[in-house]
Structure 1
């Protein structure tokens, strides 16, 4: 990406958001029929207490007297819901930033092409003007007598008639030359108008990028501030609640029997895309990044498919709009799983009920359960 992108340093986080939970130990482990996770005593771990997602986020910390007060699971669930919302909004803004940048790059290239055409057109017009001037000078040197008088005065009538034919041909050529000059001038005018329109669009997209960047920075800063108010033990408890939520979502997804219907093998290009994506495991999420050292969610999937020889749209929303939709039960390794109603997140299916994805700021590229987030649908880049 261009120099406009920068890495946003996030606080070291212990909690996991919905995009990063249910991590698989290895890509080959199937997420089938998971058993309830035991506690340290060996008894099944209870489900987390339902949160009050719509309530105001509590302010964990000290009481009015300065004494640390315990934070309940209900309060932590509210914190988790607030963090999910902040990181989701940051992801939406990141998609807007990426889309604006992609458009700006395209418009910049179009402006460069138009500038080249203007230069070429101007050079052609200058050449045509020179040729027209030369033709005019030649006619002037021929004199202003009418053809009949020049024929009568000529000592070689045949030579005159031959010359007259060349003159008529020259006159036709001159008319064609003037017509070509007019067309070239019109082309130049159109190129200049197109360049002006593209420049206005470029400026609009630069403004959109700047606005999206402000939103991303604001949302991530708010998430970091909220997390910083938690004690270490509270962060650990919050991480467990987060893990449980993702685990239960994946279990419910698998409980529907969907994995039993997923039997398709990846295409040759799909296998290449999966290899590229899994080779990036451990690299950090950075909004707007397309590698090689860091990625955002759609930066990872778009670069993986570019490496497989199938360029695809840059953003998760455009991937959802432009690529072929396939039923979840028909997905195969290399297909892209699009998440949330606004298509704000994407991961790549790698088989065995798992995806590889770049979750969010503060997380690294990792493997997660395909059903650990709310699935919008599946698209196939090489359909």
Structure 2
């Protein structure tokens, strides 16, 4: 998936600089109380959490890929075992044929029966001596082809396993990156004094309310649907039961969620399987105009589709917002809306 992560060094420097600007001296603390400084802190926090969410989405996508690769490798291993069993059986039949030819130049009835597509006809023709030599040559050709096939399948299995290990290594690296982003955001937020945190929260709410009011002023709520489908109602009911549970990156319940973990599990509870990540939900599900959305639809946010939430009606969503927060109800337009997708189209 596309990512726009900044370097760790830049993030760390930004976090340290802002923390020092807020906490090092009384004069700097007073400066941090200035609305403009709070706005800057808010922007930095929002950027850090956004980067962490983008990385989380990539982790989830990689995890799905690893799962699919594991299933393919398991299936391929089973095919290799079956092919090797066939090879052993053909080797055994070839030995029987050679012994029969040595004794009298014939081909055993068992061998003809095994090679023929019609076993009944094979039994009828078992005594046809004119086919003996040709059948034997065909058998040896099949043995050679089977040996080659087994080698190719083994090579393919080994290549898949190596890619699987590489994916896991990349995923482990991505995990460390995610954890670092989250740690930076938490450190920056906790460096604010209680009063500044309250002001920051108030500023966030003010901006969210302003964005929501602007969105509603377009008359959008008079256009959108008000009735959910039966499946949509089940998805909303599931999401509602999760309110208050913490955001944890990569989580999909039952005790914690990330944004797409919540939406995918909500729709799974409604009997509809959708992609795991917000980016894949945006890419694969049916797009509907925002003014045609209905409760149960998914609202995708930001230009990189890095966040997703469940629309529940009356201009509100249920979402797992970010680390340090909990599943909650919030205004639908409090973040930059990219578009709407419908799982039960």
TM-score range, shorter chain: 0.7 to 0.9
Which ranges of structure 2 fall in alignment gaps of 5 or more residues? 1-13, 107-123
CA contact 2:226–2:313 (8 Å) conserved in 1: no
Pick from 286, 293, 304: which aligns with 2:266? 304
2:179 is the alignment partner of 1:221: no
Q: Determine the structure 1 residue equivalent to 2:308.
A: 346
| Structure (1 or 2) with the larger CA radius of gyration | 1
Report how far residue 188 of structure 1 moved: 1.8
2:255 is the alignment partner of 1:331: no
CA contact 2:105–2:132 (8 Å) conserved in 1: no
- Cα-to-partner distance string for 1:130-151 (whole Å, 9 max, x where unaligned): 011101101101169xxxxxxx
Alpha-carbon distance between aligned partners in 2 of 1:266 and 1:98, rounded to the nearest angstrom: 28
| TM-score, normalised with respect to structure 2 | 0.84
Stretch of structure 1 that moved more, 111-120 or 302-311: 302-311
Pick from 91, 99, 103: which aligns with 1:141? 103
- Cα-to-partner distance string for 1:318-361 (whole Å, 9 max, x where unaligned): 11111111000111121110000110000011111111110011
Q: Which has the higher contact order (CA 8 A, sep 6+)?
A: 1
**How much is the aligned-residue C-alpha RMSD, in angstroms?**
2.3
- Cα-to-partner distance string for 1:135-190 (whole Å, 9 max, x where unaligned): 1101101169xxxxxxxxxxxxxxxxx99943334444434433433343343233
Report how far residue 382 of structure 1 moved: 1.6
Pick from 309, 317, 338: which aligns with 1:355? 317
Alpha-carbon distance between aligned partners in 2 of 1:113 and 1:77, rounded to the nearest angstrom: 54
* More helix by percentage: 2
Pick from 356, 361, 365: which aligns with 2:327? 365
Pick from 201, 206, 220: which aligns with 2:168? 206
Give the match's secondary structure for 1:234: helix
CA contact 2:247–2:320 (8 Å) conserved in 1: yes
Which ranges of structure 1 fall in alignment gaps of 5 or more residues? 1-52, 145-161
| TM-score, normalised with respect to structure 1 | 0.76
- Cα-to-partner distance string for 1:45-104 (whole Å, 9 max, x where unaligned): xxxxxxxx9xx7472124288x95352111111111110000000000001111111101
Q: Determine the structure 2 residue equivalent to 1:21.
A: none
Q: Determine the structure 2 residue equivalent to 1:31.
A: none
CA 1:245–1:279 in structure 2 vs 1: closer, same or farther (change >3 Å)?
same
Stretch of structure 1 that moved more, 192-201 or 217-226: 192-201
CA contact 1:264–1:330 (8 Å) conserved in 2: no
Alpha-carbon distance between aligned partners in 1 of 2:243 and 2:296, rounded to the nearest angstrom: 16
CA contact 1:259–1:353 (8 Å) conserved in 2: yes
CA 1:265–1:163 in structure 2 vs 1: closer, same or farther (change >3 Å)?
closer
CA contact 2:18–2:188 (8 Å) conserved in 1: no
Alpha-carbon distance between aligned partners in 2 of 1:204 and 1:249, rounded to the nearest angstrom: 43
Alpha-carbon distance between aligned partners in 1 of 2:145 and 2:197, rounded to the nearest angstrom: 71
Alpha-carbon distance between aligned partners in 2 of 1:163 and 1:72, rounded to the nearest angstrom: 98
CA 1:192–1:264 in structure 2 vs 1: closer, same or farther (change >3 Å)?
farther
Pick from 312, 317, 342: which aligns with 1:380? 342
CA contact 1:57–1:75 (8 Å) conserved in 2: no
Q: Determine the structure 2 residue equivalent to 1:69.
A: 30
Alpha-carbon distance between aligned partners in 2 of 1:355 and 1:330, rounded to the nearest angstrom: 16
Pick from 172, 190, 193: which aligns with 1:231? 193
Give the match's secondary structure for 1:69: helix
- Work out the number of aligned pairs and report it: 311
